[in-house]
Amino acid sequence: MMTMSSVAATCNIIIITDPTGEDPNGAAAGSMSFAENMFQSTFLMSKDNHFAVLSGGTGSSDVRLDSIVAAVANLENNASAASAASIASSYDGARLVVGGPFMGAAIGGSFDAYVITVNGNDSDITVTPYSSGVATLQPGQKGAIIHLRNTNGNPMYGTADYVRKETAMNIGKMIRDGYPATTILSEAMGEVARDSGEKYGGGGVNLVSGISTSDMFTPTEMNSTGYPMDEAYSKVCDDCGWGVGYPAAEAYDKCPVCGGDLKIVYAYEALGNAITVRPDSVSVSVYGSGKSGVASTTREIVQASVNKYGYDASSIAGSINKGINNGLLMGVDYVEPKDINVKQDSKAVGVYYTALPGDRSSPSWDLPVDENILNILGSIQTAVGIVLILLVIFRSRLLKSFQNR
């Protein structure tokens, strides 16, 4: 039997730059750790109620799950962020970071954190340390909470205290200077990853717009680490917006869509790009395939196609099919314009795939010969090949038998 080691997110950050909720990028949260299995301990987000619950601590995964469920139930009954976060103290070793643009934020349980507040009138920055109990960023207040500890075994163990303070101060400066929460979260996670080694995703969420990095950075296999937030994540074309992730990105020096130069994007930057709403942002939904990488690659291709050709279903379908031909997309069949649902007013595109049967990775060739005939020929070829192998194996015996006769 295979066992799964328990994990806790050692870095939890929540940032609120617009307590009114009017800025679509005005509140964000994220988490990461040096530990394995970061899909166990990342975040839970309510799109309808605009709050997140980030978990961590030294307790078991069952303990964290119980505390999260209790906190969510509390929040659904209109409890305050502080009340929901305080639930962590009832569970051994648990930590909860709770908050949203309208409710403020709070951290409870076992933690070492800073609460950052920025006064809207004179832009004064206050950075206050807290350890255990409950620490609160009041509703209506611009600010943030950052928790950071080092994981045992991290080669950079012992850096957390310094990095926690420095990152908190930099978060405060960026809030004061008017940066949106999603950008600040991205930069803060990059700083923590580089300077403390607590660098594996995890991920982030936009609490106003309800956008998440989902499984962009979480581990793909049990008992493995997530994606390092301080390492190169993808290459992106500045001209048309097309991009491709690593390791496939190593094969590209130029954009296959428009021939433009490619720029390296680091994981923490990709996090910011994924959860930040921009005028040219496109919301892409992918249906019909759960194969790894299909959704994220489709989003990149659709974004590039919309930037270059606009919200045209035929052009989007053509770009996707070109991606299938180039080997960027695997495990799905070609799409037609009818498979593309375009809603230009809401800047949304839905892509409906038909998954390929079995283990096939690419669609069948469009040949004038019927596919069944090719399968029959393949079977015949295989049979002939087996006969030839047998003849080679018994060649000496057959020759000797012939000579004896």
Whether 3 has a pLDDT exceeding 50, the answer reads no
Whether 58 has a pLDDT exceeding 90, the answer reads no
User: Which is higher by pLDDT, 43 or 10?
Assistant: 10
Distance in angstroms (rounded) separating the CA atoms of residues 42 and 266: 20
Q: What is the pLDDT of residues 296-341, one digit of tens each?
A: 788 888 988 888 888 899 999 999 999 888 888 888 999 999 999 9
Whether 19 has a pLDDT exceeding 50, the answer reads yes
What is the rounded average pLDDT of the residues 119-131? 88
Residue in the block written with tokens 């799409």: 335
Distance in angstroms (rounded) separating the CA atoms of residues 228 and 220: 13
Q: How much is the pTM? A: 0.74
Q: What is the pLDDT of residues 82-115, one digit of tens each?
A: 999 999 999 988 899 999 999 999 999 999 999 9
Residue in the block written with tokens 């309800």: 210
What is the rounded average pLDDT of the residues 26-31? 96
pLDDT band for position 403 (cuts 50, 70, 90): low
Rounded (10°) angle between helices 395-404 and 371-393: 60
Whether 390 has a pLDDT exceeding 60, the answer reads no
For residues 260 and 240, the answer to whether their CB atoms sit within 8 Å is yes
| Per-residue confidence (pLDDT) for residue 401, from 0 to 100 | 53
Per DSSP, the three-state class of 54 is strand
Per DSSP, the three-state class of 100 is strand
For residues 304 and 241, the answer to whether their CB atoms sit within 8 Å is yes
Distance in angstroms (rounded) separating the CA atoms of residues 128 and 96: 18
Region of 153 (left: φ > 0; alpha: ψ -120 to 50; beta: rest) is left
Whether 281 has a pLDDT exceeding 80, the answer reads no
Structure tokens at 87: 């639930």
